[in-house]
């Protein structure tokens, strides 16, 4: 059973399960983050905090309405793959059941030969919106940011024709978190270092990235 909490520091959190059912679309659409600020501050002041232990940490958002990805959106990654920077966004979707916690197992599909991974910046939108008039309006709709591991099966995605979905949207292919960082917690989202470490010995490399390398940057 998921229990929504707010991180206080590296070792402590505030349990808010009596205030909200989950960090889902209903929560974000009702300005849930702003409504939690007062109760969380009060509980920190009174010492009503808990210590992290060996609990499973789930994704910091639950049952999103839609998950959209932008392909080849790091200029260095496009260069690494030998592909030109796209003139139009390459969009793909991931189904909601791809979303899992940051430490959960990824299920490799049957017949997979080229599983792959990419560190990505996830942007959580707090309300339904479309045709926004300016970047400022878009920024106002952002609830926060999450780290995402964009898991892919490259043979399914690129070598078998058709759309990218079959190589991007397998169950568990979107580990996210552990935390959702609100916009005020990140002074410059374009100057955010991100990296992903692979611990398998024969693949022991890290793939770094910086948000300013986005072809289409976060607004």
Q: What is the pLDDT of residues 7-36, one digit of tens each?
A: 999 999 999 999 999 999 999 999 999 999
- pLDDT at residue 186 in the model: 92
Exposed/middle/buried for residue 16 (C-beta within 10 Å: 0-12, 13-18, 19+): middle
For every residue of 44-102, DSSP letters joined together read HHHT--EE--S-----SS-S-S-EEEEET-BHHHHHHTT-PPPSS-EEEEE-GGGEE-T
pLDDT in tens, 79-89: 676 777 778 88
Higher-pLDDT residue of 190 and 216 is 190
Count how many Cα atoms sit within 13 Å of the Cα of residue 6 in the half-sphere of its side chain.
23
CATH architecture of 67-213: Alpha-Beta Complex (3.90)
Q: pLDDT at position 127, please? A: 86
Give the Cα separation of 138 and 207 in Å (integer).
29
Per-residue model confidence (pLDDT) at position 195: 86
**CA 72/CA 18 separation, integer angstroms:** 42
Q: Is the pLDDT of residue 196 over 90?
A: no
| Cβ-based neighbour number of residue 178 at 10 Å | 16
pLDDT over threshold 80, residue 49? yes
Residue-averaged pLDDT of the chain: 88
Q: What is each CA distance from 207 to 73, 119, 196, 218, in whole angstroms?
A: 14, 7, 5, 20
Q: What tens digit of pLDDT does each residue of 92-135 get?
A: 999 999 999 999 999 999 999 999 999 999 999 998 888 999 99
pLDDT over threshold 80, residue 217: no
How many angstroms separate the CA atoms of 21 and 76, rounded?
A: 40
pLDDT of 212 above 80: no
Residue 204 has pLDDT above 70, yes or no: no
Task: Look at residue 172 in the predicted model and tell me its pLDDT.
Answer: 98
Give pLDDT, residue 18: 98
Which pLDDT band, with edges at 50, 70 and 90, does 205 fall under? very low
pLDDT confidence tier of residue 201, bands split at 50, 70 and 90: very low
- H or E element that contains 39: helix 32-46
pLDDT over 90 for what percent of the chain? 69
The residue ranges of every structural domain in the chain are: 5-51, 67-213
């Amino acid at each position: 059973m998921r229990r929504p909490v707010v991180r206080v520091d590296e070792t402590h959190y505030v349990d808010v399960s009596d205030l909200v059912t989950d960090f889902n679309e209903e929560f974000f659409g009702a300005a849930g983050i702003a409504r939690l600020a007062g109760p969380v501050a009060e509980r920190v002041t009174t010492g009503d905090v808990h210590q992290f232990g060996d609990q499973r940490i789930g994704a910091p958002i639950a049952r999103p309405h839609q998950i959209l990805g932008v392909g080849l959106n790091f200029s260095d990654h496009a260069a690494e793959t030998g592909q030109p920077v796209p003139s139009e966004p390459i969009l793909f979707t991931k189904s909601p059941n791809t979303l899992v916690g940051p430490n959960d197992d990824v299920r490799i599909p049957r017949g997979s030969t080229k599983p792959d991974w990419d560190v990505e910046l996830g942007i959580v939108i707090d309300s339904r919106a479309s045709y926004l008039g300016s970047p400022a309006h878009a920024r106002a709709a952002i609830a926060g940011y999450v780290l995402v591991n964009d898991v892919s099966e490259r043979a399914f995605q690129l070598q078998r024709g058709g759309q990218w979905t079959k190589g991007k949207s397998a169950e568990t292919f979107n580990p996210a978190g552990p935390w959702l960082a609100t916009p005020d917690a990140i002074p410059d989202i374009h100057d955010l270092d991100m990296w992903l470490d692979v611990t398998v010995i024969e693949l022991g490399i890290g793939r770094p990235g910086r948000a300013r390398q986005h072809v289409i940057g976060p607004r």
